Amino acid sequence: MNELHHFLQTRRSIRRFKPDPVPAPVIKRILATAIFAPSAHNLQPWRFVHVESDLSKEKLGNALTEKMRTDMDAEGADPAQIQKRVEISIRRIDEAPVIILLCRDVTAIRKSEPEEEIMGIQSAALGGLQLMLAAHAEGVGANWICWNLYAQAETRLALDLPKSWQAQAMIFLGYADEEPKKASRKSVDELLTHR
Ligand SMILES: Cc1cc2nc3c(=O)[nH]c(=O)nc-3n(C[C@H](O)[C@H](O)[C@H](O)COP(=O)(O)O)c2cc1C
């Protein structure tokens, strides 16, 4: 029991990866565990896109950074600052050995009601968390990148995805090339109320 608590408490976001590939059977095991996450009505709305080839990463990186350029330009950002952000972002995508794009199938819903939509988003997120924990179990580092939320159409177009797949996050996977700082958390006492 204590070991499981320790395991859960030691998962950390990993943002620097060694260039070593993550073997295909490892990715398969991670996804096979991810799909055991709970989901509302057991509708399993999560969909996964495995992005690993240079070509796919390039398409995705270009699409996301084009949108980034447009958005930052509209906000009046300095062109040099935009260029710097674009270059860093392209490099991050390029350096991630594997990207699993976590999507939600918006048609995997019982009724078209706002509450059911929230349940779908919550369910997809739990699939993402379980994926990250399964990666941790495999000694594979992971980080959740929310960027696609701002570039839905661009993400779909770049990876030729069905219209009903709504991108939730890119989960970068790879072997850690950093020792993350100690996790910072509020205490349970600050977060818990008794009634
Ligand atoms: C919904 C969500 C969005 C996140 N977006 C990003 C992101 O875009 N970029 C990033 O580097 N980390 C992102 N993170 C990771 C958080 O920054 C990280 O989980 C948090 O700082 C706690 O650190 P830990 O995961 O190492 O415990 C995201 C996490 C979640 C749950």
CATH classification code of 13-51+97-179: 3.40.109.10
pLDDT digits (tens, 9 = 90+) for 25-56: 999 999 999 999 999 999 999 999 999 999 99
**Residue 67 CA: distances (Å) to CA of 57, 61, 94, 104:** 15, 10, 17, 21
Rounded to whole angstroms, the Cα distance separating 99 from 86 reads 18
**Percentage of the chain lying above the pLDDT 90 cut:** 97
In this structure, what DSSP letter does residue 75 have?
Answer: T
pLDDT digits (tens, 9 = 90+) for 15-24: 999 999 999 9
Overall residue count recorded for the chain in this entry:
195
Sheet with 141-145: list strands edge to edge: 46-51, 98-105, 165-174, 141-145
Atom of ligand 1 nearest to the CA of 128: 31
Report the chain's mean pLDDT, rounded to a whole number. 97
Rounded to whole angstroms, the Cα distance separating 11 from 15 reads 13
What number is the average pLDDT over the span 168-194?
96
Determine the pLDDT at residue 157: 98
**Residue 166 CA: distances (Å) to CA of 112, 114, 141, 152:** 16, 16, 24, 7
Q: Which long-range contacts (CB under 8 A, 24 or more apart) does 35-38 make?
A: 35/127, 35/130, 36/130, 37/123, 37/126, 37/127, 37/129, 37/130, 38/123, 38/126
Domain ranges of the chain: 13-51+97-179
Query: Does residue 129 have its Cβ closer than 6 Å to ligand 1?
Result: no
Distance 111 CA to ligand 1 centre (A): 31
Model's pTM, two decimal places?
0.97
Distance 12 CA to ligand 1 centre (A): 9
